[in-house]
Amino acid sequence: MLSYGAVNSQVSTWYAVDLDRGEATRMLARLDRSMGKHGVLERVTGRLSAAQSSALSQLTARIWASSNPLPTQMATDVVWDLWLLDGGDVRREFGPGRPAGMAQDLARTMQEVVGL
């Protein structure tokens, strides 16, 4: 799962990929600060092609194998958060700005499936 948010905004974008099901979902969410909960404003789901599924599998394997934190591309008022889940194993990467390197490649592939 990859999410983008802005410090001064209540709206965030979430990308979720299920490699087992072969699909990717983009959700636009809004935080209701009074309730402390997110509400989904828009949800788009698309099927992964064989090439996209292969690319995402290879990228996630490279991220799992990497012992270094993923780099960040600096940008104002934006944060990102990446969660890789495999059974009970979790790897979380996050930072200010936008993801760079392998996380940026992952984001591009997800956006090809379900849009920006």
Give the pair of three-digit tokens for residue 100: 């760079």
pTM of the predicted protein model? 0.83
- pLDDT one-digit tens code per residue, 1-39: 889 888 788 888 999 999 999 999 999 999 877 777 778
Closest CA to 44 of 106, 115, 108, 101: 115
Give the single-character DSSP code of 78.
Answer: -
What is the predicted pLDDT for the residue at 116? 61
Report the C-alpha gap between 78 and 48 in whole angstroms.
Answer: 27
Cβ–Cβ < 8 Å for 16, 25: yes
pLDDT by residue (tens digit) across 62-115? Answer: 999 999 999 999 998 899 999 999 989 999 999 999 999 999 998 888 888 887
